[in-house]
Chains A and B, each alone.
Chain A
Amino acid sequence: MSATVATPAHRLPRTLVTGLLVVGAIALLAALGPWIAPYDPDAFDMRARLQPPSAAHWFGTDEFGRDVLSRVLSGAHHSILMGVGATAISLAIGVPLGLIAAFRRGWTEEVVMRCIDLMISLPPVLLGLLILAVTEPGLWKTILAVGLVYVPIMTRISRAVALDLLSEDFVEAARARGEGAYHILVREILPNAWPPLIVETALRITFAILLGSALSFLGLGPQPPASEWGLMIAESRPFIAEAPWIGLAPGLSLCLLLIAVNTVGEGLRDLLDPRLRGRGHG
């Protein structure tokens, strides 16, 4: 019988490549923001208040005469940090919890999973609000809150994946060698659990960015005069009729980032999820 050699992905899904290019471009702009911004993002210029887009101010100016383009550029890193940081936190807490729940079964699993159910039963924004309400707002607090909100989903996914894998014979073989929990979870289970977790992570970043911006919009993120996109949209609200560009620029940037990250996630799923393999990538 000829062994079917796994074909390495010599053709990456087009969605993945496109998404990665756009995300890369945004990340580059965010990193270079302070240097390439044409103006100081926090500098007031009362003579140039609420100016529409022009050659001098590509995205116009806000109610204090600050250059919107410069503020969008300098705010980009907030959104990216929120997405990546919060997801990293949810992975760091959720994956071990899920693996341990699956491995121990019994009471450990019941306690962990019922706590998780409790967290899931609260709407994300409300849960984020609850966590933030007890502390001073700020970028890192927001990241922590958003990360905690997404712990349950990571726990559930890693538990489901681990439960599947734990019933495989190679785990039984490890038990027959008398291997401990650490070896079985880290050496046998985790390497096989990565593909679905990576896909979920990439898609989860989108939600994290969105929730972070929503919390900022509600005033629970970075505080003024910081140039966070959600906060900028909130600040633009009173001027939405006379100067819509103030809100439109960060809003569209947020949209672009979300779509790009989501595209990366879907591309990764096409690449890593064997059930979808062979269908051809659009």
Chain B
Amino acid sequence: MAEALLDVAGLSVSYATRRGLVHALQDVSLAIPRGGAMGLVGESGSGKSSMVLALLGLLDKGARLEADRLDFAGEDLRQACARLRGSRIGTVFQDPAAALNPALRIGFQVAEPLVQHRRLPQPIALARAVELLAEMGIPRPAEVAQAYPHQLSGGMKQRAVIATALACEPELLLLDEPTTALDVTVEAQILDLLERLRRDRQVALLLVSHNLGIVDRLCDRLTVLYAGRVVEQGDAATMLRAPRHPYTRGLLAALPRADRGQLQRLAPIPGGLPDLTRPESGCNFAARCPFRAEGCDAPQALRDVAGRAVRCHRAEELGDTPWPRPGHTAAQRAPLGAMLLEAEGLARRFRLGGGFLQMFRSRAEVRAVDGVSLSLRRGEVLGLVGESGCGKTTLGRLLLRLIEADAGTIRFDGQPVSPRPDAAFRRRAQIVFQNPDSSLNPRQTVEQALLRPLVRFGLASGAAADREVDRLLERVRLSPAYRPRYPHQMSGGEKQRIGIARALASRPDFLVCDEAVSALDVSVQAAVLNLLADLRDELGVAFLFISHDIGVVAHIADRIAVMYRGVIVEEGPTQAVLAPPYHPYTQALLSAVPLVGQSGRATTRLRLVGDVSATGPASGCPFAHRCPVKIGAPCERQAPAMREVAVGHRIACHLPIEEMARAPHALMATE
């Protein structure tokens, strides 16, 4: 290996807290050569962010840092970090909205490091900023430089942040979850950009991410962190193909993958992170490890195994043994039941702006949902995908009559549902939310939260209600010991399960899951997805499963509906939607999904420019303004009708069916 640009050895970081000293990083070593790309993965709490902050010298005052070596290009970062960061080390954080100052123009912010570090005069720095913005693929860079952050979309903001990080031509870019806040199509654009920067400029990358697909796409080396320790480190492609440490095996097994389609069940990693105030002397993963054996409590060293470093004494012995998948002995899924929910022509507009003074002015309107019809049978899971802002959440709320519809009808179990539905409909149609922190009342115990629906719908009282609460907790695999807990005493995954238990309390037939697993770590996500699949199979609950993560939807859904700007553009059985013929939007969405071990896909990618919020034509196909295969006049003048391309598989597009069928498979590498 060439001489390392970044060379870290024996780095330990600890924080003094009320509970004691938290050992966030323990003896971490990694090296990145010039132009290299290192991925750093691990679940929340693994110490990824501490690593970035330590390299930048931005740790809190209460933090203690020890290292044998912390060098950047031969200089000790502990002394030089203030001078190096911003000039030779660039940083991109997760949330572009938080990284930009809302009161300053974009151009000024991009130019700032040039003025600060290079002492360039303001006008020259500003001119350079416009060039940088252009290099990031921003259209009309001179105009964007004059804009304020709120005038740009998320993807544009992140490009501006990257431009700022690159202003002084750094040799190393630290990327802390750079695309997590972005849509998958925009994420793909940013990843392309980063890939190009690395190739053209020889910028080294340290990519911190929880998404293994992104890491596989961008990095050649990979470090897996678990609870502050490096558990496996080596060549990225090899490690993802044949993981050697049990934790890496577990991470890969828990990942729902669009290219694998529907699996019986995912393999969750049981348990949670160990207590970081008392680091184990032995393996810190042993408590959650299915391969635990004698000798795991002895100190584990990073050893060279099959060309990489692994911190597990059984690495060779285990060979290619996969992470055990949960045996699924329960009866196979019953055939789908009778029609449960039918929605016809649902529509909802929102007015922009508001307030007393605007009351008399005409206001712009957004058609959040524009004439959507869909149906759902008992025990069926309908996945709803699309970029943010395309109306998925609004549609879910419309179906539950939580917001008023402007037009359309809903029939539930054969009966029309009035705009102000009765308690019977409320009992049978429930919702699970994305954010576990917001979905539970912080002042209510688990018991209070679960009792309320029972009381409200008169389902049980007294001792019977008590037993019912225990049964609900058991349903979501939690012990009755959780009854007196408040939300802040639980982890994200536990809170999410309570949210599901609360929705199940009224014994619903229909559940809207609005990004129900998106905020969870991959191991916890797998457990919650398995739970939902059990509910579908055992209780016959029907789901509308809203998610931006196509891997998750492909795993759990029977049918998928693809939504764009308030309209469903494609709908059909999961396997049919994931394979050609595609609606061009579906094809673009699918080919944007970063997949593990499918790097050969790069050549067949269909890229979208811009984002949903860009204004399109008032009439015509809603996707025409971004469509890469637009055929011209018909697309702009006339909205395409839904056409059945196969049984139950419908696409709304003017393209000839044969042409759509010729599209390459977006999820597979083409030879």
Contacts and interface: CB of A to CB of B under 8 A. Distances in A.
B14 interface: no
A275 B560 CA distance: 43
Given A169-B439, A173-B439, A177-B453, 20 more contacts: A1-B44, A1-B272, A1-B493, A2-B273, A2-B276, A3-B489, A169-B433, A170-B439, A170-B440, A170-B441, A172-B402, A173-B431, A173-B433, A173-B503, A175-B402, A177-B452, A178-B423, A178-B426, A191-B444, A192-B442
B491 interface: yes
Interface stretch (A4-12, A57-65, A73-81, A260-268): A4-12
Contacts of B506: 177
A179 B491 CA distance: 27
Closest 4 CB pairs of A and B: A178-B426, A191-B443, A169-B439, A169-B433
B201 interface: no
A168 interface: yes
A1 B44 CA distance: 8
Interface string A165-188: 000111011011111000000001
Interface residues of A, number: 22
A110 interface: yes
B536 interface: no
Given A1-B272, A173-B502, A175-B402, A6 B488 contact: yes
Given A2-B272, A110-B356, A169-B435, A177 B456 contact: yes
A5 to B, nearest CB: 6
Interface of A: 1-7, 110, 114, 168-170, 172-173, 175-179, 188, 191-192
15 contacts: A2-B274, A2-B275, A3-B488, A5-B488, A6-B486, A7-B18, A170-B438, A170-B441, A172-B402, A173-B502, A176-B426, A176-B429, A177-B452, A177-B506, A178-B422
B421 interface: yes
Contacts of A177: 426, 452-453, 456-457, 506
A188 B421 CA distance: 21
A5 B489 contact: yes
Contacts of B597: none
A16 B272 CA distance: 38
Given A176-B431, A177-B506, A179-B456, A4 B488 contact: yes
B371 interface: no
Interface class of chain B by DSSP: loop
A178 B426 CA distance: 6
A211 B276 CA distance: 54
Interface in B483-527: 486, 488-494, 499, 502-503, 506, 521
Nearest to B494: A3
Contacts of B499: 173
B273 A1 contact: yes
Given A168-B438, A177-B453, A6 B443 contact: no
Nearest to A190: B443
B162 to A, nearest CB: 31
A177 B16 CA distance: 44
B354 to A, nearest CB: 10
A114 B355 CA distance: 12
B430 A176 contact: yes
A1 B491 CA distance: 6
Looking at A1, A5, A110, A192, the one whose CB has the most chain B CB atoms below 10 A away is: A1
B213 interface: no
A192 B273 contact: no
Interface string B434-466: 110011111110000000110011000000000
Contacts of B486: 6
Looking at A6, A168, A170, A172, the one whose CB has the most chain B CB atoms below 10 A away is: A170
B45 A1 contact: yes
Given A1-B493, A2-B272, A3-B490, A192 B456 contact: no
Nearest to A5: B489
Nearest to B488: A6
Nearest to B430: A176
Nearest to A109: B356
Given A177-B452, A177-B456, A192-B441, A3 B402 contact: no
B237 interface: no
Contacts of A173: 431, 433, 439, 499, 502-503
B441 to A, nearest CB: 4
A172 B433 contact: yes
Nearest to B359: A110
A194 to B, nearest CB: 9
Contacts of A168: 438-439
Contacts of A7: 18
Contacts of B274: 2
Nearest to A110: B356
Contacts of B440: 170
Given A1-B492, A6-B488, A176-B400, A192 B433 contact: no
A176 B444 CA distance: 17
Interface string B336-350: 000000000000000
Nearest to A278: B18
A212 B452 CA distance: 45
Contacts of A6: 486, 488-489
Contacts of B273: 1-2
A177 B441 CA distance: 14
A171 to B, nearest CB: 8
Looking at B421, B441, B453, B494, the one whose CB has the most chain A CB atoms below 10 A away is: B441
Contacts of B502: 173
A4 B506 CA distance: 30
A107 to B, nearest CB: 10
Interface in B201-239: none
B223 to A, nearest CB: 21
Contacts of B272: 1-2
A47 to B, nearest CB: 64
Nearest to B452: A177
A188 B45 CA distance: 31
B384 to A, nearest CB: 18
Looking at A2, A6, A173, A179, the one whose CB has the most chain B CB atoms below 10 A away is: A173
A191 B402 CA distance: 24
A191 B440 CA distance: 13
Looking at B18, B443, B493, the one whose CB has the most chain A CB atoms below 10 A away is: B443
Contacts of A175: 402
Contacts of A2: 272-276, 491
A95 B274 CA distance: 44
A272 B421 CA distance: 39
A5 B490 CA distance: 8
A230 to B, nearest CB: 39
Interface in B248-283: 272-276
A2 B492 CA distance: 10
B655 to A, nearest CB: 39
Nearest to B449: A170
Contacts of B521: 1
Contacts of A176: 400, 402, 426, 429-431
Contacts of A188: 441
Contacts of A191: 441, 443-444
Contacts of B18: 7
